[in-house]
Structure 1
Amino acid sequence: MSDVEQTAKEQLIAKAYNYWRSKGSTMTVVRKIICEIALEGKDSYDAETLLSRVRQVDRQISLSTVYRTLSNLVEANVLREFQGPADKKHYTVIHSEVDGRSHVVCQDCNQIFPLEDPCLALREGALARQQGFSTKNISLRMEASCDQLHEKGDCNRKQSSDN
C-alpha cells in the first residue's frame, strides 16, 4: 500500500471513529480490525468475504458483528453498499464526497468489475443541479454478459476470487 493510500485509509478510519463518537460509542478493538480490513483493498466484497478476512486476525468475530459494522460504515459515508450478483449486498470504499463509482456485474461468472469514471459524478451531478438537487451519492450498476466468453468460449477476465 502506498503512502497516499495509507493516508486515505487512516482518514477513513478517523471518519468512522468520529461517527461512532458522535453516536456515543467507541472504536472497539473488533471495530478497528473490521475497519482496517474493510478499507484495505480496491475490490468490492460481501459480508461473508469480509468475515473470512477478519477471522484471519480474530477467529471470534461473528457475522452479525461484521454486518453491524458494515452498516455503521455505510452510515458514516466510509463505505458504499450496492447490489452485487443475485442481489447480494456488496461494499466498496468511498474515495471522495461524491464518488462516481460504477460496477458491471457479469451474469456469466458473477464477478464484479469496477468502472471508475470521474466524469460520471460531473455529468450526473450537473443534471441533478439543473433539477434543483445537491448530489450526495452516485452509483450505477450494470448487469452484462461477457462478449469474449460467448464469442470464444473463454474469458481472460474470469478468475477464481472470493467475491
Structure 2
Amino acid sequence: MARPFLPPRWFVRGAWKTHKLVLRATNDRGLRPPVPGRCGIMRLTTTGRRSGEPRAVVLCYIEDDGRLVTLAMNGWDPADPAWWKNLQARPAATVDLAGGASRPVTAARATGAERERLWAAMHDYSGYGDIDAFAGRRGRETAVVVLS
C-alpha cells in the first residue's frame, strides 16, 4: 500500500503561519464552526510551559456535546506539538471561535472508549485527510484533545 502524500513540513508550518496572519489581518473572518463534512477552525491560546507567555495556534476542531475536540498532531510529525505540551503542563487555555466568541477551556486527553469514539468521529470531517494513514506515519498514538 502506498504511503499517503504529505506536503513537506516547511509547507505545512508555513500554511498555518500564513493562516494566523490572515486571521489577524481580517479580524478573524477565517474562524468557522464545524459543519457536516468540514471541521471548524479555532484559535487556541495556551500559556507557554517554560516562558509563561501566551502562545496562539490555529487548529481544526469538531464539537462533541458542547466540547471542542482536536488532534495533537504536528503536521503529522512524530513530535508532539508545542501547544499540546503547554496544555499538559497548564491545562487552562482560551479559545476564539467564529463570530468573536471567546471562552476559557480546560484541556484533557481522551482515553479508552472515548478516544476511539472521538477518533472515529474525526473521519466524518475534511481537514484531517486520511487520519489513520497519517497517524501511522507518526510511529505513536496521536492524542485526542478535549477542550471543555
Q: TM-score, length-normalised on structure 2?
A: 0.31
Give the helix-richer structure, 1 or 2: 1
Larger RCO (CA under 8 A, 6+ residues apart) = 2
Q: TM-score, length-normalised on structure 1?
A: 0.29
Structure number, greater radius of gyration: 1
Give the strand-richer structure, 1 or 2: 2
